[in-house]
């Protein structure tokens, strides 16, 4: 299902790019610009100086998660993020991305973030920090997977019991959960990037 989400996003970006217009922007362009503006504003507030280079990654990440959460509302399709491999993949890519950016901007000085200011506590602090950063992968994965899986199950149960009318309410709730979980994931990714590149400014 995640491959379908990937293809849909490629088509979305291709259509928006082909129909870019300053004088007469279409509805898809309005949607793309609104999403990008939201990420830009959030990144500026959280990351600060130099935030521009991370907007592209955060925008694509948010769109992938959001579409992966909402695609399950279409009959015959499954919620991509209700499978643990998808949230895990997003979490791992984010984990490697923010560490890469930290090392790229700060060099080996980035390691100082893991050892603290007190030299004789450095070995202990290093272990604690490494465990803390690894726990972020688990936290991002479980939060997204558990919420979307539970939302899927609730919607399915009520659709089975009451096939007319009532499931619409839970489909709307599912959409709400999808928006909230996407926001939380992208916000945390932004915070992690901001912490990793903090020495830049």
- How far out from the chain centre does Cα 129 lie? 22
Per-residue model confidence as pLDDT tens digits over 23-37? 777 888 888 889 989
Task: Give the DSSP letter of residue 107.
Answer: G
- How far out from the chain centre does Cα 2 lie? 14
Return the domain boundaries, the chain: 2-200
Tokens found for residue 103: 């090392």
Per-residue model confidence as pLDDT tens digits over 68-117? 999 988 877 889 999 999 999 999 999 999 999 999 888 877 887 787 77
Handedness of CA 3, 150, 84, 54 (dihedral sign): positive
Measured CA to CA, the distance from residue 165 to residue 172 in angstroms comes to 12
Q: What is the 3-state secondary structure (H, E, C) of 31-43?
A: HHHHHHHHHHHHH
The predicted structure's pLDDT at residue 30: 84
Per-residue model confidence as pLDDT tens digits over 126-182? 889 889 999 999 999 999 999 999 988 888 887 777 767 667 888 888 899 999 999
């Amino acid at each position: 299902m995640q491959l379908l989400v990937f293809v849909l996003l490629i088509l979305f970006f291709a259509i928006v790019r082909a129909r870019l217009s300053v004088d007469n922007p279409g509805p898809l362009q309005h949607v793309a610009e609104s999403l990008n503006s939201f990420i830009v504003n959030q990144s500026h507030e959280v990351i600060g100086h130099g935030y521009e280079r991370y907007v592209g990654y955060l925008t694509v990440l948010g769109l992938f998660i959001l579409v992966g959460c909402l695609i399950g509302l279409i009959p015959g399709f499954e919620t991509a993020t209700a499978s643990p491999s998808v949230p895990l993949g997003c979490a791992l890519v984010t984990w490697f991305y923010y560490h890469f950016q930290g090392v790229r901007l700060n060099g080996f000085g980035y390691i100082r973030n893991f050892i603290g200011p007190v030299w004789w506590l450095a070995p202990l602090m290093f272990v604690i920090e490494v465990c803390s950063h690894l726990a972020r992968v688990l936290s991002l994965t479980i939060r997204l997977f558990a919420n979307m899986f539970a939302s899927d199950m609730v919607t399915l149960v009520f659709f089975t019991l009451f096939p007319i009318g009532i499931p619409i309410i839970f489909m709307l709730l599912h959409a709400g959960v999808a928006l909230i979980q996407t926001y939380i994931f992208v916000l945390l990714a932004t915070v992690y990037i901001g912490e990793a590149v903090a020495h830049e400014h």
